[in-house]
Copies of this chain bind each other. A is one copy, B any other.
Amino acid sequence: MRHRRHIGKVYAGRHGIVGALTEDLIDVYRETRATIRGLKHTPAGAFGSARFKLQGLDKNRAEYERLIEVFRAHDIGYFFYNGGNDSMDTALKVSQLGESLGYPVTCIGVPKTVDNDLPHTDCCPGFGSVAKYVAVSTLEAGLDVASMARTSTKVFVLEVMGRHAGWIAAAGGLAGSKADEPPHIILFPEIPFEQQKFLDKVKQCVTDYGYCVVVVSEGAAYPDGRFLADAGTVDAFGHKQLGGVAPVVANMVREAHGYKHHWAVADYLQRAARHIASKVDVDQAYAVGKAAVELAVKGANAVMPIIVRKSSKPYRWAIGQVPLAEVANKEKKLPRDFITPDGFGITEPARRYLEPLIVGEAHPPYRNGIPAYVRITGVPVKRKLTTQFKL
């Protein structure tokens, strides 16, 4: 809105690219200033999210032609798309419209994924807050188990997100820094799961510390690549159960050692937990969005703003940029030297990397005991096309 010379109106695709294809656009100017401001302290995708990946131009030319039809009808010259690997792939493909199909569109990707697996950027907005949630939850549940362990629960398993990369699981490691402090064991997707080694370590923890707290990534897998979560579990009727990995690990411990256990699966709670957001993360999310607009009006195209770490202690960062082609469909995994040699913990380099990302609180305002999150009214932009598009 501060760049009226270049950008006259701001539309949001309802459910991202799906809204762009179906000409379902939201007129952002029709939202109140209070709502727009409130988005900074509101979790989830206010304009709607989508699990939808554009195919290659050669595979589905109709989708691209439709995008141009919608862009042309509404005089859309700038396209901003935020998300992770898949979204950067979509952004890259849209940026190629100009060259391939003769419609000029400036396209900027904006990093945003709790998975933290985009390359080149120091971190991805969203991650710092999930990391903080997981570190705090591990700390809190760890105190609970420590209190209970003498006569009750001895093992607690917390399942966190991260199907391919262990960034979120690693963040659980920030709950403690000494061997006797939770979490005692972290199970990463990057480290093939060895059952006996794990069970021995659980036993050692219970013997030495009285209890054992385990953080397990949903992507933890056996050496043959099979997910632990895919335990072949069936219900009373023989139907296959798609379960979490936490109950699988907890039952494994119970069967081997007989310890009383509890387990939790944070699932969406972790990535929607705006109430415990990291201030650094909120600041960075805002900064990359702002940089994206500035890059666009300066004439950049097919790039993504990134966070560049200048120093860790104190944490100093600046905004840089990379071509979308260098981030689309590329996945940054946890480096091996972030994981202890035994595969069950995080190292000092990991701490140096992770710690600054969860620093600072950004408490939302509260009303009647719950956060005063906003909802957009989502006034649709008047349709100009008579044609429909079927996804």
Contact = CB atoms under 8 A, between A and B. Distances in A.
Interface of A: 15, 18, 42-46, 48-52, 132, 135-137, 139-141, 143-148, 150-152, 156, 158, 174-175, 231-236, 239, 241-244, 246-248, 251, 254-255, 262-269, 271-276, 278, 355, 357-361, 363, 366, 368-371, 373
Contact of A278 (B254, B355, B369): B369
Contacts of A15: 150-151
Contact of A369 (B46, B355, B366): B355
A346 to B, nearest CB: 14
Given A51-B152, A264-B268, A361-B366, 12 more contacts: A43-B143, A44-B144, A45-B147, A140-B274, A141-B269, A144-B272, A235-B251, A242-B251, A244-B263, A264-B269, A358-B370, A363-B363
A246 to B, nearest CB: 8
Given A239-B255, A276-B276, A369-B359, A143 B51 contact: no
A272 B151 contact: no
Nearest to A250: B242
Contacts of A263: 244, 265, 267
Nearest to A17: B151
A144 B268 contact: yes
Given A15-B150, A244-B247, A276-B276, A370 B174 contact: yes
Q: For the complex, would chain A's binding face be called helix, strand, loop or mixed by DSSP majority?
A: mixed
A174 B273 CA distance: 17
Nearest to A358: B369
Q: What number of copies of this chain does the assembly contain?
A: 2
Nearest to A176: B370
Contacts of A268: 140-141, 144-145, 156, 262, 264
B151 A46 contact: no
10 contacts: A49-B152, A52-B151, A136-B371, A140-B275, A140-B373, A141-B272, A246-B265, A264-B267, A357-B369, A361-B366
Contacts of A267: 141, 262-264
A234 B264 CA distance: 19
Given A232-B235, A268-B144, A139 B369 contact: no
Given A18-B150, A44-B146, A232-B235, A272 B370 contact: no
Nearest to A149: B48
Contacts of A148: 45, 49, 51
Contacts of A255: 239
A273 B236 CA distance: 35
A324 B15 CA distance: 57
A233 B235 contact: yes
A143 B373 contact: yes
Given A247-B244, A262-B268, A269-B266, A355 B373 contact: no
